[in-house]
Amino acid sequence: MRTVEIIVPPREPHFVGDGFRVHNFIPGGYRLDMKRMDPFIMLDYNSRHYFPPSEKPRGVGVHPHRGFETVTVAYKGRVAHYDSSGGGGVIDEGDVQWMTAASGILHKEYHEESFSKEGGDFQMIQLWVNLPAKYKMSEPKYQAISNGEITKYALPDGAGTIEIIAGEYRGVKGTASTFSPVHMMNAKLEKGGSAEFSFPAHFNTGLLVVEGSIKVNGGEEVPTDHFVLLENNDTDFSIQAVGENALVMVLSGDPLNEPIAAHGPFVMNSREEIIEAIEDFNTGKFGHLED
């Protein structure tokens, strides 16, 4: 079985803008740098947090991205998104927003207006997926994936459901298109329910426990809001919900094994490309978006 390398507790939360209270797992301590989980180069997790009602929506104003993809998974609350390529809309509970920044995009995201006025629990993941060098300067694109569009696999004996956002599970393909082999799925397990997974041994693989608690391979219990980094020593592993129902984000991807040059919202392959990205942003080549 693929064994557990380390169980990572949530770091102290910090705010991104005024609307996202996140624990940063990647890049972070405990060996979770950009190379260790390549092609997953950033993981911010907004654990369940109550936001009181507000007439002015909280969020993050206009900012650029280049060289990678941002994936937002909504568990609680709603977010309104806009970008300079014309993409946008509302990410509702259960939905996924997959934005390919690629050659450059301007982006802003706020709590959706009615959610902001009502207030409520807010819980989301934002993940950055690196792009292979040959695709970094491709055209930006946007995949708005409603929960109803996400491929679902019913586990036997009523154990739960696997929502296959990208990649595949037991031969069933996920909904999102990707530029390199990436598996991303929500495992929704009933109390005591279990699921088995198999990914190539060299794929970097991790688990984020969003709700409940689990055991990996029947071993140590992993509580809510903790991240499990798995060894690259085998293909198969299992997870089981203990004590209550559980929700787990499962990530596994083929490492790009390319140089990473990162500076703020730009992730390229060299310092020269970072300088070019900054110059292109400063000269308006990322388009226009009102704040």
d(CA 37, CA 32): 7
Would you state the pLDDT for residue 186? 98
For residue 154, tell me if it sits in a domain: yes
pLDDT digits (tens, 9 = 90+) for 131-172: 999 999 999 999 999 999 999 999 999 999 999 999 999 999
For residue 271, tell me if it sits in a domain: no
For residue 190, tell me if it sits in a domain: yes
d(CA 252, CA 40): 9
Would you state the pLDDT for residue 88? 82
Output the domain CATH number for residue 145.
2.60.120.10
d(CA 243, CA 221): 10
Lowest model confidence (mean pLDDT) among 23-32, 159-168, 220-229: 23-32
DSSP state of 139: -
Helix (H, G, I), strand (E, B) or coil at 156: helix
Q: What are phi and psi of 112, to 5 degrees?
A: -60, 145
Q: Considering all CA atoms of the chain, what is the largest pairwise distance in Å, rounded to the nearest integer?
A: 58
For residue 259, tell me if it sits in a domain: no
How far apart, in Å, are the Cα atoms of 55 and each of 41, 185, 215? 34, 34, 42
pLDDT band at 86 (very low <50, low <70, confident <90, very high): confident
pLDDT band at 29 (very low <50, low <70, confident <90, very high): confident
Q: What does the CA dihedral 210, 212, 218, 222 come to, rounded to 10 degrees?
A: 60
For residue 185, tell me if it sits in a domain: yes
Would you state the pLDDT for residue 16? 96
For residue 289, tell me if it sits in a domain: no
pTM: 0.96
Read off the tokens for 33. 């740098």
How much is the average pLDDT of 240-264? 97
Task: Report whether pLDDT(120) > 80.
Answer: yes
Q: Answer with the residue of higher pLDDT: 220 or 258.
A: 258
Q: Which residues contact 63 (CB under 8 A, 6 or more apart)?
A: 106, 107, 108, 265
Q: Which residues contact 64 (CB under 8 A, 6 or more apart)?
A: 104, 105, 106, 107, 265, 266, 281, 286
How far apart, in Å, are the Cα atoms of 239 and each of 137, 150, 195, 235? 38, 21, 6, 14
Give the domain range for residue 58.
4-253
Would you state the pLDDT for residue 85? 84
Task: Report whether pLDDT(291) > 90.
Answer: no
Task: Report whether pLDDT(30) > 90.
Answer: no
How much is the average pLDDT of 84-88? 84
Task: Report whether pLDDT(87) > 90.
Answer: no
Number of domains in the chain: 1
For residue 144, tell me if it sits in a domain: yes
For residue 23, tell me if it sits in a domain: yes
d(CA 273, CA 280): 10
Would you state the pLDDT for residue 115? 97
How much is the average pLDDT of 232-252? 97
DSSP state of 27: S
Would you state the pLDDT for residue 134? 98
Would you state the pLDDT for residue 28? 85
Torsion sign (Cα): 143, 128, 133, 63: positive
Helix (H) or strand (E) holding 279: helix 271-282
Would you state the pLDDT for residue 95? 97
* 112: nearest Cα among 104, 103, 122: 122
Q: Answer with the residue of higher pLDDT: 32 or 118.
A: 118
